Amino acid sequence: MLFSSLLLGALHAMVPLTMTATGEILSERAGVVNIGLEGILLLSAFGAVVGAEAGGPLAGLVVGLGVGAILGLIHGVIAVYFRGDQIISGVGINILALGLVAIGIVWQWGVAGFHQVDRALRIPHLVTPLGSMSPMVIVTVLLAALTYYLIHHTNLGLQIQAVGENPAAADAAGVRVERVRLFGAVYAGALAGLAGAYLSIDWLATITRNLPAGRGFIALATVVFSRLNPFLAVVGGLIFGFFDGLGLLASTSREITQVVPYQFIQMLPYVVTLLVVTGVIGRARFPAASGQPYRRE
Amino acid sequence: MPGSSVPRTGAPGQRPGPPAGPVQSDTWLEMRGITKVYPDGTRALDKVDLAAAKGEIHGLLGENGAGKSTLMKILSGILPMTSGRILIGGREIALRNTNDALAHGIGMVHQHYSLVPTFTALDNILLGRGAPLSGPARSAARARIKRLMDDTGLYVPLDVPIEQLPIGTRQRAEILKTLDRNVSLLILDEPTAVLTPQETEQLFQVLRTLSRGGTTIILITHKLPEVLALTHRVTVLRHGRVVGTRPTAGATAQDLARMMVGAERLPAVKERRPQAIVEPVLRVAELTVLGDGGTPAVRNVTFEVSRGEIFAIAGVTGNGQTELIEALTGLRPAASGYAYLLGQPITGVNPRKLYEMGLAHIPEDRHRLGMVAQLSIMENSILGVHFQPRFRRAMPGTLHWGRVRKYARDVVRRFNVITPSLRTPMRSLSGGNQQKLVVGRELSKSPALVVAGQPTRGLDVAAAATIRDLLMDMRNEGRAVLLVSADLDEVLALADRIAVMYEGEIRAVLERGQFDRERIGLLMGGVGDGPAAG
């Protein structure tokens, strides 16, 4: 019983991390790094609630994905076409999201900081032997597999890798470097958007001013852990998700919080992330031109 | 070889020399009146004409900065031209980008290969060709490339990441990639610069095969033996203009060298005062230095520089001069051999220690090594001497800005650096004034040895003259000067002795009085004396 609820907790916590990381893997393969994923999660989570309240859970998912894709597009245009600093652009998205969503919640529902999502507007769950499970768990694993195939078995994937490793060579071979990179940025945004929608209209069923609570950054850690392999992002998402789920479970259990203050339990996922990434980071090999704008001579 | 459109590589034992067989003399490619003016006003090419027939191997010869690469970048769609016309088979074509050029069958193999290092040769070749990474279409593409390898003799392991292959094999992959685009005009930019002699001979065999199959080849080079061994005709460029086009059959290395280096136009320099004392300051013995690729860039070089002497190293850039300077200034380890400054070993010694031993270094790449563009004149004027007690306050680690300012003002005044203020960032100065500050800072160290790399490159005439006079002053004061310059006129005007470097070796050392422009031109092109000791 405890085991199945822990596993289910880990699977549900894996979804936002792995899905966001999967998109970012493709984007970083193409040479665009987006540290604004946290902000994209938050804004799309907000958008998804608004969408769901207007047209049901499916509309919520579509709006979340759309908001993410638009933010990814903005970041991509700044990074690729204006050759702006990708870190600054990403930080900008994070700050923008914090402000917009805080105001948005007040503006939309007249309350400050917190809005519960109606049960009827949530994504319907599947009945499994483990218990009630979100279909997004399956979608996440499928997206990871699809992304792996895209990168390693298609012509577009070859171009993505080429513009990330050596954009000048790709350019000389007739690849449209800017377009491929922009595709990567939009793809990462769209997947983060879907993950954001999952947070608000599925898993956590609320919208708050800080709903992702650092999951966008843990997704970045998952990218490092995965060494840009989407399947390893599933593994990484499960590891980080396990401690995330454990933290959520333990901090609501009275027996545990009487012994250990819940603040310490909630630190777990972040501490584990730091430890794991510290162990992995030296061995990861990232594309040579990742994060660097390409300028033709 | 069924299905081959091109005969197999020539029979073994075939003599080097221009490919046998008739080459149609009708012009196929024509470049007319090509002019290129860069946005900063530099005229890189001035009404250049070039013509080549089908199957011709055409050499493009010239010194550094003659415009060879610029001309070919225009032909391969990388650079737009300012004016001129390009015709293929009598029809004018427009080249807006590399894809346009490829569509007309024009492909270029650059000195720095356009390969993705983590990709296999096959993926590199198929990149941008729309072939998928798996499935029957990939098998078909693989078969096509295998056939191309059989036809041309360009064998490359297709499934090994490029970064694990030797440089000659990478080049073959790059050529294959270009040929796979159905290229009928192949441009090669200094293709042998990084190859071993065996790899070079293999490459030449391939090029002869391609030529017999009807591919036109333009070979950019500064090596005279290559031109004579391989090409049908040669066009010589100098300062962005065509000096002439000759059939290679009737030409001699002397003719070509003369065309390449041109007539003397020596800059005026200060009076050279006789120096009585000969006393070696720098002694270099059997020094070998590895280049970035791990192969020797400087080979077993021996020479001495005496006090009161300007010892100049002439040669086309890329023949080991940079690596030699770096080894002597603490920036690159020596693989073997020795170098002594005033009797003390200097290889592998920290640059700061070298300065304390009496070395001043005017770096070749002043933007990267000579200055920090964002910092002010004042700050730049003490780079490298900033640790000296005279710039320090009593408190550890703090600078005495008053004294720094006084020092900077002194350098600016003595070396005539024109700047609005001492606080002006270095990047706002003109190239000439930047260099005057760098030179001034280095010469203010009262060095025993000055190592100057390309000290006047890119400078206006007046600034260049100032720098040359300062180097002559150093010599006349009895200091030793090691000058590395690709500008032959500068070398001839300044040097007491000239060493010519070619492929990492010093091919000859000439004393002032026996300077012979034509002989130096030949040596720079790899013709004449073997390794020499100075």
Judge residue B517's burial from the number of C-beta atoms within 10 Å of its C-beta, 0-12 exposed, 13-18 middle, 19 or more buried. middle
Whether B128 and A159 lie within 8 Å, measured CB to CB: yes
Q: How confident is the model at residue B16 (pLDDT cuts 50, 70, 90)?
A: very low
Distance CA A248, CA A271 (A): 15
List helix spans (H) across chain A: 2-29, 37-76, 86-109, 136-153, 155-165, 167-172, 177-198, 215-226, 230-251, 254-259, 262-280
pLDDT tens-digit readout, B323-360: 999 999 999 999 999 999 999 999 989 988 999 999 99
Distance CA B336, CA B343 (A): 18
What residues of B are in contact with residue A171 (Cβ under 8 Å)?
98
Which of residues 170 through 209 in chain A touch B, CB cutoff 8 A? Answer: 170-175
Distance CA A125, CA A201 (A): 12
What residues of A are in contact with residue B114 (Cβ under 8 Å)?
166, 168-169, 172-173
pLDDT of residue B459: 78
Q: Which of A296, A79, A72, A285 is nearest to A167 (CA)?
A: A296
Same domain as B441, residue B326:
no
CA of A291 to nearest chain B CA: how many angstroms apart?
17
CA of A166 to nearest chain B CA: how many angstroms apart?
5
Same domain as B423, residue B466:
no
* Mean local confidence (pLDDT), B144-150: 91
Same domain as B348, residue B307:
yes
User: Does residue B18 lie within any of the structural domains?
Assistant: no
Same domain as B440, residue B333:
no
> Which uninterrupted H or E stretch holds A79?
none
Kindly state the tokens that stand for B434.
């930047």
Same domain as B321, residue B466:
yes
Q: Are B17 and B227 in contact (CB under 8 A)?
A: no
From B261, B293, B326, the end of a domain falls on B261
Residue B109 has pLDDT above 50, yes or no: yes
Kindly state the tokens that stand for B267.
């800059």
* Residue in A with minimal Cα distance to B119: A162
Whether B127 and A168 lie within 8 Å, measured CB to CB: no
* Mean local confidence (pLDDT), B475-482: 95
pLDDT of residue A204: 92
A295 in contact with B at a CB cutoff of 8 Å?
no
Which of B114, B115, B132 minimises the CB distance to A155?
B132
Distance CA B231, CA A283 (A): 49
pLDDT of residue B131: 62
pLDDT of residue B132: 63
Which of A165, A170, A171 minimises the CB distance to B118?
A165
CA of A28 to nearest chain B CA: how many angstroms apart?
15
Same domain as B312, residue B238:
no
CA of A147 to nearest chain B CA: how many angstroms apart?
14
Q: Residues 6 or more apart from B291 whose CB is under 8 A from it?
A: B297, B320, B323
Same domain as B473, residue B437:
no
Which percentage of chain B shows pLDDT scores above 90? Answer: 49
* Mean local confidence (pLDDT), B365-376: 87
B226 versus A246: which is more confidently predicted?
A: B226
CA of B434 to nearest chain A CA: how many angstroms apart?
24
Residues of chain A with pLDDT under 70: 1, 281-284, 296-297
How do B309-314 and B497-502 pair as beta strands? parallel
Which of B114, B126, B133 minimises the CB distance to A172?
B114
Same domain as B303, residue B384:
no
Whether B117 and A174 lie within 8 Å, measured CB to CB: no
Q: What is the DSSP letter of B423?
A: T
Phi, psi dihedrals of residue B113, rounded to the nearest 5°: -65, 145
Q: How confident is the model at residue B2 (pLDDT cuts 50, 70, 90)?
A: very low
Whether A157 and B102 lie within 8 Å, measured CB to CB: no
Q: Scanning the structure block, which residue is given the tokens 């250049």?
A: B48
Q: How confident is the model at residue B365 (pLDDT cuts 50, 70, 90)?
A: confident
Considering the entire predicted model, what is its pTM?
A: 0.68
Choose from B15-29, B132-146, B191-205, B409-423 the range with maximum mean pLDDT: B409-423
Judge residue A219's burial from the number of C-beta atoms within 10 Å of its C-beta, 0-12 exposed, 13-18 middle, 19 or more buried. buried
From B446, B474, B499, the end of a domain falls on B446
Which of A153, A155, A165 minimises the CB distance to B131?
A155
Query: What is the average pLDDT score of chain B?
Result: 87
Same domain as B287, residue B161:
no
CA of B119 to nearest chain A CA: how many angstroms apart?
8
Q: Which of A198, A50, A193 is nearest to A136 (CA)?
A: A198
User: Does residue B13 lie within any of the structural domains?
Assistant: no
User: Does residue B8 lie within any of the structural domains?
Assistant: no
B9 versus B456: which is more confidently predicted?
A: B456
* Residue in B with minimal Cα distance to A155: B132
Among B112, B116, B182, B189, pick the best mutation site for testing chain A contact (most A Cβ within 10 A): B116
Which of A175, A288, A297 minimises the CB distance to B128?
A175
pLDDT of residue A281: 66
* Residue in A with minimal Cα distance to B100: A174
User: Does residue B251 lie within any of the structural domains?
Assistant: yes
Among A155, A228, A290, pick the best mutation site for testing chain B contact (most B Cβ within 10 A): A155
Same domain as B453, residue B426:
no
B19 versus B444: which is more confidently predicted?
A: B444
Among A158, A176, A285, pick the best mutation site for testing chain B contact (most B Cβ within 10 A): A158
What residues of A are in contact with residue B70 (Cβ under 8 Å)?
none
Judge residue B291's burial from the number of C-beta atoms within 10 Å of its C-beta, 0-12 exposed, 13-18 middle, 19 or more buried. middle
Whether A162 and B119 lie within 8 Å, measured CB to CB: yes
Whether A155 and B114 lie within 8 Å, measured CB to CB: no
Whether A170 and B127 lie within 8 Å, measured CB to CB: yes
What residues of B are in contact with residue A159 (Cβ under 8 Å)?
127-128
* Residue in B with minimal Cα distance to A296: B78
Q: How many CB pairs under 8 A join A and B?
A: 61
A263 in contact with B at a CB cutoff of 8 Å?
no
Whether B127 and A153 lie within 8 Å, measured CB to CB: no
A152 in contact with B at a CB cutoff of 8 Å?
yes
A150 in contact with B at a CB cutoff of 8 Å?
no
SS3 label, residue A216: helix
Judge residue B67's burial from the number of C-beta atoms within 10 Å of its C-beta, 0-12 exposed, 13-18 middle, 19 or more buried. buried
* Residue in A with minimal Cα distance to B123: A158
* Mean local confidence (pLDDT), B144-151: 90
Whether B116 and A165 lie within 8 Å, measured CB to CB: yes
A260 versus B508: which is more confidently predicted?
A: B508
C-alpha distances (whole Å) from B422 to each of A54, A244, B342 are 65, 57, 35
CA of A89 to nearest chain B CA: how many angstroms apart?
24
Same domain as B248, residue B393:
no
User: Does residue B112 lie within any of the structural domains?
Assistant: yes
SS3 label, residue B110: coil
CA of A20 to nearest chain B CA: how many angstroms apart?
25
Which of A155, A161, A173 minimises the CB distance to B114?
A173
> Which uninterrupted H or E stretch holds B426?
none
CA of A274 to nearest chain B CA: how many angstroms apart?
29
From B388, B412, B446, the end of a domain falls on B446
pLDDT tens-digit readout, B156-203: 999 999 988 887 888 889 999 988 888 999 999 988 877 777 788 888
Query: By residue range, what is the domain housing residue B441?
Result: 373-446
> Which domains are assigned to chain A?
2-115+136-283 (1.10.3470)
How many domains does chain B divide into? 3
A156 in contact with B at a CB cutoff of 8 Å?
no
pLDDT tens-digit readout, B254-286: 888 888 877 767 788 888 888 888 899 999 999
User: Does residue B190 lie within any of the structural domains?
Assistant: yes
Contact residues of B toward A, CB < 8 A: 78, 98-99, 102, 110, 113-119, 123-124, 126-134, 177
pLDDT tens-digit readout, A71-86: 999 999 999 999 999 9
Which one-letter amino acid corresponds to residue A41?
A: L
Whether A175 and B177 lie within 8 Å, measured CB to CB: no
Q: Are A217 and A225 in contact (CB under 8 A)?
A: no
What residues of B are in contact with residue A157 (Cβ under 8 Å)?
133
**Could you give the angle at the alpha carbon of A11 between the alpha carbons of A266 and A100, nearest 5°?**
60
Distance CA B418, CA B406 (A): 16
Distance CA B455, CA B442 (A): 12
Distance CA A141, CA A126 (A): 16
Q: Residues 6 or more apart from B120 whose CB is under 8 A from it?
A: B158, B159, B160, B161, B162
SS3 label, residue A124: coil
Q: Are A225 and A276 in contact (CB under 8 A)?
A: yes
What residues of A are in contact with residue B102 (Cβ under 8 Å)?
174
Q: Residues 6 or more apart from A55 whose CB is under 8 A from it?
A: none
* Residue in B with minimal Cα distance to A287: B118
Residue B21 has pLDDT above 70, yes or no: no
Same domain as B248, residue B128:
yes
B322 versus B168: which is more confidently predicted?
A: B322
What residues of B are in contact with residue A297 (Cβ under 8 Å)?
78
Distance CA B231, CA B17 (A): 8
A155 in contact with B at a CB cutoff of 8 Å?
yes
For B502, other C-beta atoms within 10 Å of its C-beta total 23
User: Does residue B6 lie within any of the structural domains?
Assistant: no
Q: Listing from the earlier edge strand, what are the strands of the sheet with B497-502?
A: B359-362, B449-453, B480-484, B309-314, B497-502, B505-511
* CATH number for position B223: 3.40.50.300
Which one-letter amino acid corresponds to residue B296?
A: P
What residues of B are in contact with residue A31 (Cβ under 8 Å)?
none
- Residues for chain B: how many in total? 534
Q: How confident is the model at residue B516 (pLDDT cuts 50, 70, 90)?
A: confident
User: Does residue B275 lie within any of the structural domains?
Assistant: no
Residue B10 has pLDDT above 50, yes or no: no
Phi, psi dihedrals of residue B312, rounded to the nearest 5°: -105, 140
What residues of A are in contact with residue B119 (Cβ under 8 Å)?
158, 161-162, 165
